[in-house]
Chains A and B, each alone.
Chain A
């Protein structure tokens, strides 16, 4: 009898948990206003007016053509606030919630560019002349001063730190970035990309997305530009390689196209040698003026990728989901992904008992 009651209770409890999990999974994005520093947290600066929230495709209302790169990485919502000092000097604070920590790291790596000063804020932070970016969990935080005066920059850093302490969860870089950005390859100015737009900022191979980029790491190795693209499986990688070669053969942007021993080479308009190789589901491209250095870099990349093979998970659907996320009023807060995971764990424990 006791067992029956216990079992019934467990079933009811499990159903409740399941309903909560499902509801949470379908919930719109959480309220980000809790991350905004309040008056007094950064001396001399206060929130000027109600912050503006843009969700899903509404990001185009905020930044129009600049929105697509965020969507390419996987965008949920952004909260944009303005802080003013007594002289009405302005600092903009933008908190972007992306679809995953990998997305947040990706857009961070895209936006920070070269140079700047690394700071210990969030998982990674970089301060430029008048603005600062950091990422933590699934959030990218951008703080922008409208000038590079020392006082402004000091406040930019202070605001960023004040946001950082309010974010209590963490995330990690995507495994492809973790694997390639260790010291062995010597990548610099690296960006984790999730689509063609992320690549175009560094090099325009074509206007038709020959490489069908859905995930990759790009940057510099030595004096060469280096690109690694990852595909769902070996067949997909081989198919893209074949189609890209066909595309480049017909391209007027390149000359001297040649396919030898599985490597495709061509010369671009700057007389740089472009070499493309493939191993498994990875395609690597190296561009450089020095033929020997280019070959050496490509060899090292392909060797590294061959070792990785299928060790890395491929977490991303090949279909780019640009579904709209609806907004919720300020003050409401729904369970975060981490909370849902905890509920799932709880459910698993109950189920096993």
Chain B
């Protein structure tokens, strides 16, 4: 993706919010910040931005209680949304959102931040591949301030097309949402949480959100299993194969509040690392996310299988992970 969007359009997330903020005030403040940056008024902030932009960051992790700000900051640390979303592009968001128990869904503040950043970067259209209803947005205290942005999001996941996977070991064809196939930019937005069936769900597993129920059934039952998880080996291989479809242009993982048991639906015990993780390496992000739950990410079957495909790095020590607290 090109870098057409000026960084000054991003909000200054380092400053405390003294007034209710909406996207317009963000842009306004960002413009002022940009001007001041050019004039050298905010030299420290400028140097910090430059440092983030120049150092190649593989994964950005931001810890803080304001998830909206954390998300914007994390993307900024990767170079800003303009690095991933070009003007007039169609953006598809794959959000783990179908549940409503605490720690089971991506916080709407994170989704709202992504939507705002995409619009701000000049996206022509922002669509969701899994349906979002108003009850999802209403779980956020800041929804009213971003109602227009939320309403602009279209559901694009209702039609499916058969896709071949010639290199898939278990999966040879699948019905995939056209919205996921046709979008110019795919942003994968999982939550790192416990899953009864395969132990952990994160960026890799979240790709299943773009497939039809027929394909879902194939993953779970095609080897003759009577239960959804009778053949975890096959299921995990299918998930790995599915990830051959396309690499998400950006992954933003919710590591703020997650269940450590009874996943994916809950309720269950919670951990609250209050982290938002952004990056493009879904394997590394899953390893990181699993560690937040106290799991060994590199031992999770789906992670090992996508790593074997060369889709990402399993050894986090070989990556540049930038962590900050706001």
Contact = CB atoms under 8 A, between A and B. Distances in A.
Interface of A: 63-69, 71-72, 92, 111, 113, 115, 128-131, 142, 144, 146-147, 195-197, 200-201, 204, 207-209, 269, 320, 322
B264 A66 contact: yes
B267 A144 contact: yes
A65 B226 contact: no
Main secondary structure of the interface of B (DSSP, over half): loop
Contacts of B100: 92
Contacts of B269: 113, 115, 128-129
B108 to A, nearest CB: 13
Interface stretch (B4-12, B16-24, B54-62, B195-203): B195-203
Given A113-B261, A113-B269, A131-B267, A68 B231 contact: no
Contact of A66 (B231, B263, B301): B263
A68 B299 contact: no
Nearest to B104: A66
Contacts of A115: 269
A119 B289 CA distance: 34
B170 interface: no
A200 B196 contact: yes
Contacts of B233: 207-208
A65 B219 CA distance: 12
Interface residues of B, number: 30
Given A63-B265, A92-B100, A208-B233, A195 B199 contact: no
B98 interface: yes
A160 B8 CA distance: 53
A164 B183 CA distance: 50
B262 A113 contact: yes
Nearest to A67: B228
Given A63-B99, A65-B197, A111 B262 contact: yes
Interface in B202-251: 226-233, 236
20 contacts: A63-B264, A65-B228, A66-B263, A68-B228, A68-B229, A71-B228, A111-B268, A113-B261, A113-B269, A130-B267, A195-B227, A196-B227, A196-B229, A197-B196, A197-B227, A200-B199, A201-B261, A207-B232, A320-B226, A322-B227
Given A92-B100, A113-B268, A320 B227 contact: yes
B102 A146 contact: yes
B101 interface: yes
B190 to A, nearest CB: 14
Given A65-B196, A130-B267, 11 more contacts: A64-B264, A66-B263, A66-B264, A68-B196, A147-B102, A196-B230, A197-B196, A197-B227, A200-B196, A200-B199, A207-B233
| Interface core residue of B226, B227, B233 (most chain A CB under 10 Å) | B227
A131 B267 CA distance: 7
B264 A142 contact: no
A197 B197 contact: yes
A144 B104 CA distance: 13
A208 B227 contact: no
B299 A65 contact: no
A240 to B, nearest CB: 15
Contacts of A72: 227
B27 interface: no
A130 B266 CA distance: 11
A200 B268 CA distance: 16
B311 interface: no
Given A67-B228, A129-B270, A208-B233, A200 B262 contact: no
B101 A144 contact: yes
Contacts of A144: 101-102, 266-267
A209 B267 CA distance: 26
A137 B230 CA distance: 29
B228 A200 contact: no
Nearest to A64: B98
A325 to B, nearest CB: 17
A50 B7 CA distance: 48
- In this complex, which of B100, B101, B266, B268 has the most chain A Cβ atoms within 10 angstroms of its Cβ? B101
Nearest to A113: B261
Given A63-B99, A63-B265, A130-B102, A207 B199 contact: no
Residue of B100, B196, B266 with highest tally of chain A CB at under 10 A = B196
Contacts of B299: 269
Given A113-B268, A197-B196, A204-B199, A71 B227 contact: yes
B193 to A, nearest CB: 11
A320 B226 CA distance: 7
Given A200-B197, A207-B236, A65 B227 contact: no
A144 B261 CA distance: 15
Nearest to B229: A197
Which of A65, A67, A113, A144 has the most C-beta atoms of chain B within 10 angstroms of its own C-beta?
Answer: A65
A69 B196 contact: yes
A323 B226 CA distance: 11
Nearest to A115: B269
Nearest to A133: B267
B102 A207 contact: no
A320 B225 CA distance: 11
Given A142-B267, A146-B102, A269-B299, A68 B195 contact: no
Nearest to B261: A113
A129 B259 CA distance: 12
Contacts of B267: 128, 130-131, 142, 144
Contacts of B195: 65
Contacts of A65: 195-197, 228, 264
A120 to B, nearest CB: 21
A335 B102 CA distance: 36
